[in-house]
Chain A
């Protein structure tokens, strides 16, 4: 670990700055890189080589596609249609919006999903005199669960998929089944603990009448936009083709990053949108944040720090694959609840690689444990995932304050349940394949 002290200090300082929001995440990560470059710990050429451009391409591509899709109004139309389908039934509002949130989160980023869903959910529930907080928290939690199902659903999966070379189908076949179970368990928990709040309203004519008026208002507020059908069709066709190319990755040999960026560029070209305007929608700071973290973790890897952590902490539990899988799952779950799961995942990837070198665990189970832990762990606290922070922020704009503990009272139990279900799934999987 010769010359590792400086990179360790910089890395810890960057982590502290990110965790306590002392600096913008991207600025913190890139400032750390710049300090190390200035002190000649690495050269700029090495720094560039450490960036995983596959991940950056995938993120950039998906962000572009989602930005154009949002402009098309498609998701707003879907949300309003779902609101109509619920007919004001509190239980239907919970179930139908949760299904849409989970599916949307699996293919779009979670923040985009909650940005579309939460305003309509709040307007509908608050307008009916229900407590919107339960619905806001459940949609945030469900978006994190749904995002775990696919390679493109959540940043930890994007990072794992790109850096480890796992395909879209591998993610879908291995993570979608436990995600569906966890989704049902989470919904069941929300319903069980709030049964009195989900009573049907179809026995009260006046309440149904109010809901009908409310739905008319929602239709007016959200659908009073001009829908460009051609633009909508082009956007949806590109999204469909992107997913098709992800699914056929083993045949086309095209990596997800190439597919996403290719389809984003095709969509830019055929949709004739204002490119400058669309590029403003891209979260450039997130991409910069990723690049900075890749460099910082890469330096730690080069200096032997990651190997030291793997050997002296994670490998201390022995070479029992059951224990290894459980440890990766639970450590990821708990740490991701309090720290940003993006730097955590980037840090964990080389550690898991070293663990696998010493004790191979079949069927990528350690990677699935990391993905499930990092994604589900984000539900532990209000600050565990970006979707949680955005949801709570939006609720505040609608005069619905959700405190840290109000959120955690719900989400912590759901996190515990989903991690328990994941443990059972991974143990069973391991037992079958060993």
Chain B
């Protein structure tokens, strides 16, 4: 795999993560893997190398998509005994394993939504920043199915992402007000909860989350607005925050008068200390229980 193809894959994964969030991008990638295998035209003896090259590329994206990496690592070990078979058999087995991973993640998301619905109370005014389909589904269902009258303060990110969230909220008839991220201070008196999501939660208790999350969460934490973090158990990484390969890019900004170099990062890092409630498929964990839960989770995995 050459550098150009690596760069293309990295960019695409990053863009998808930005648009859909980590869980959705994982599901999209698993589906893409299945469809790609169907399209692939290569002799049986090359199948293993082709699969390993792709799984290697997926595991090395910038940033790391932790839920996808966990599932791909499982796929690698589960697939290993089958690589000797004929092309069709190998492809069929790979499809079966990948589909099972996809369904498992979908089930985890379903459980998080279920738990998340209990975090919404009537008359809540909830600050939402992250494009995360689980969070949006929780808000939509809380209003549409459970008839909870809520209001969402939607913090604007890039226009395409914000429009996508607005469309979802409109379709569910959820009351919402969209404001720039930097204007949240005007709503501090009115908001009573903040919902966010993450790309990963690292072993050193850092949350890798969409750009802007760290600032917003700090502000909410400072003003004692409870922060709810929604993350399935596949998002917990064994590595440190520094190993998450957050993409750093320096671009030249030109104005009529001058030009300057601007350094940007694909994601934020923030301390898990800022989170008041961690919501996973296992349950809702208040701040004081989070370290114990994470330790138990890691030992369970190990």
Contacts and interface: CB of A to CB of B under 8 A. Distances in A.
Nearest to A126: B8
Contact of A205 (B15, B19, B36): B36
A216 interface: yes
Interface string B112-143: 00000000000000000000000000000000
Interface stretch (B39-47, B210-218, B289-297): B39-47
B8 A210 contact: yes
B204 interface: no
Nearest to A215: B32
Interface residues of B: mostly helix, strand, loop or mixed?
helix
Nearest to B11: A127
A414 to B, nearest CB: 30
Contacts of A214: 12
Interface string A167-210: 00000000000000000000000000000000000111111111
B13 interface: yes
Nearest to B47: A205
Contacts of A221: 160
B51 interface: yes
A128 to B, nearest CB: 7
A217 B28 CA distance: 10
Contact of B32 (A127, A129, A209, A220): A209
With a 10 A CB-CB cut-off, give which of B19, B33, B40, B164 has the most chain A CB atoms.
B40
A210 B5 contact: yes
A127 B28 contact: no
A220 B160 CA distance: 10
B54 A224 contact: no
A213 interface: yes
Interface in A92-130: 127-129
A216 B32 contact: yes
A202 B13 CA distance: 20
A385 B29 CA distance: 42
B16 A217 contact: yes
A206 B167 contact: no
B37 interface: yes
A145 to B, nearest CB: 31
Contact of B4 (A127, A129, A204, A211): A129
Given A129-B8, A205-B51, A213 B13 contact: yes
Interface residues of A, number: 22
A212 B36 CA distance: 7
A213 B54 contact: no
B12 A213 contact: yes
A253 to B, nearest CB: 49
B15 A217 contact: yes
A220 B42 CA distance: 30
A234 interface: no
Given A213-B12, A217-B15, A205 B5 contact: no
B179 interface: no
Contacts of B9: 206, 209-210, 213
B42 A203 contact: yes
B43 to A, nearest CB: 10
B262 interface: no
Nearest to A87: B39
Interface string B1-34: 1001100110011011001100000001101110
Interface in B49-80: 50-51, 53-54, 57
B5 A206 contact: yes
B118 to A, nearest CB: 30
B239 to A, nearest CB: 24
A146 to B, nearest CB: 29
With a 10 A CB-CB cut-off, give which of B20, B32, B41 has the most chain A CB atoms.
B32
Contacts of A217: 12, 15-16, 19
B35 interface: yes
Contact of B164 (A129, A202, A224): A224
A403 to B, nearest CB: 22
Nearest to B7: A129
Contacts of B20: 220
B42 to A, nearest CB: 6
A205 B8 contact: no
Given A202-B41, A203-B40, A217-B16, A212 B8 contact: no
A364 to B, nearest CB: 49
11 contacts: A202-B41, A203-B40, A205-B42, A206-B1, A206-B50, A209-B54, A212-B31, A213-B29, A216-B16, A217-B15, A224-B167
Given A205-B40, A209-B54, A212-B32, 11 more contacts: A129-B4, A203-B40, A208-B36, A209-B9, A209-B36, A210-B9, A213-B16, A213-B29, A216-B32, A217-B12, A221-B160
Interface of A: 87, 127-129, 202-214, 216-217, 220-221, 224
Please provide the 9 A-B residue pairs with the shortest distance between their CB atoms, ordered closest to farther. A212-B32, A208-B36, A205-B50, A213-B12, A209-B36, A202-B41, A206-B54, A208-B39, A205-B54
Interface of B: 1, 4-5, 8-9, 12-13, 15-16, 19-20, 28-29, 31-33, 35-37, 39-42, 50-51, 53-54, 57, 160, 164, 167
